[in-house]
């Protein structure tokens, strides 16, 4: 995923890379499990609150945003690894 590549190769913190991609790429709204997986690949563990803030920063919100349950499950799943 582009966010993980920017983070690992570009020297950005994962949260900064994710924010940059979500702001710049049209309709970027990655699935919480994909976002959590990319974070793990970059050596970062995202908290649910960080994921919520990233999704809230998306300039174009989808009609059916990810549920809090899905976001919490994704965050909890990476913490267990």
CA distance 61 to 11: 28
Q: Grade residue 69 by pLDDT with cuts at 50, 70 and 90.
A: very high
The pLDDT of residue 80 is 56
Query: What is the pTM assigned to this prediction?
Result: 0.83
pLDDT tens across 19-67, in order? 999 899 888 888 999 999 999 988 999 999 999 999 998 888 888 888 9
The pLDDT of residue 36 is 93
Closest CA to 8 of 46, 38, 50, 48: 38
């Amino acid at each position: 995923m582009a966010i993980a590549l920017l983070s690992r190769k570009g020297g950005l913190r994962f949260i900064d890379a994710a924010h940059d991609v979500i702001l710049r790429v049209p309709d970027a709204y990655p699935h919480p499990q994909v976002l959590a997986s990319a974070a793990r690949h970059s050596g970062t563990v995202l908290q649910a609150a960080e994921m919520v803030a990233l999704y809230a920063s998306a300039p174009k919100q989808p009609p059916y945003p990810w549920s809090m349950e899905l976001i919490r499950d994704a965050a909890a799943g990476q913490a267990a690894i």
